[in-house]
């Protein structure tokens, strides 16, 4: 992998995290292609007796035909962002303060020469209503992104984001933030 390509993807992912933390959602939406898919599949625990020598962590994750916490295209993401601006998004009153930490970035070429696959780990802290522990959340997991070169902006567009949570049970009151 060329260092320039890796650094370009890394800086793109860091920029995206900054946009989310600064609640610059319209700019964040512009990072998605019109044909994008943004989804978080449900994860299941596997008991030891159900694991054999062919067991692998991917068997804990629902596939595209299974359940997900959300499965949004760009139109749906745009509606979610629009709702945040109305003042009627009760799950975001007061608005969440977030810190998105992105690490362990791996980049590999895709079959499409204008696309790459970027895998990363995330740790997202959310705070609201200081003094109430139930309004502090920590989310962790990994992301698998397909990024397409955006020639107009000499940057990347998110074509597909699969968010793989480390948790099985959501301990937060809601999943109203973006990952």
* Domain coordinates in residue numbering, the chain: 3-45+56-165
- Res 21: pLDDT: 98
Fold exhibited by the domain 3-45+56-165:
Nuclear Transport Factor 2; Chain: A, (3.10.450)
pTM (two decimals): 0.89
- Order across the sheet with 97-109: list the strands: 68-73, 32-41, 155-165, 136-150, 115-127, 97-109
SS (H, E, C) 44-93: CCCCHHHCCCCCCHHHHECCCCCCEEEEEEHHHHHHHHHHHHHCCCHHHC
pLDDT digits (tens, 9 = 90+) for 7-23: 999 999 999 999 999 99
What would the two tokens of residue 128 be?
A: 């609201």
């Amino acid at each position: 992998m060329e260092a320039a390509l890796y650094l370009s993807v890394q800086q793109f992912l860091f920029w995206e995290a900054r946009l989310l933390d600064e609640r610059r959602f319209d700019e964040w939406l512009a990072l998605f292609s019109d044909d994008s898919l943004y989804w978080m599949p449900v994860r299941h625990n596997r008991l030891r007796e159900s694991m054999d020598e062919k067991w692998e962590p991917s068997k804990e994750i629902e596939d595209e035909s299974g359940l997900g916490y959300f499965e949004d295209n760009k139109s749906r993401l745009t509606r979610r962002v629009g709702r945040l601006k109305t003042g009627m998004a009760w799950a975001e009153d007061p608005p969440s303060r977030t810190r998105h930490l992105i690490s362990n970035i791996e980049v590999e070429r895709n079959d499409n020469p204008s696309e790459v696959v970027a895998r990363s780990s995330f740790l997202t802290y959310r705070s609201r209503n200081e003094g109430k522990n139930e309004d502090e959340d920590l989310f962790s997991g990994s992301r698998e992104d397909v990024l397409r070169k955006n020639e107009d902006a000499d940057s990347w567009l998110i074509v597909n984001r699969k968010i793989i949570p480390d948790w099985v049970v959501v301990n937060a009151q809601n999943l109203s933030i973006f990952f």
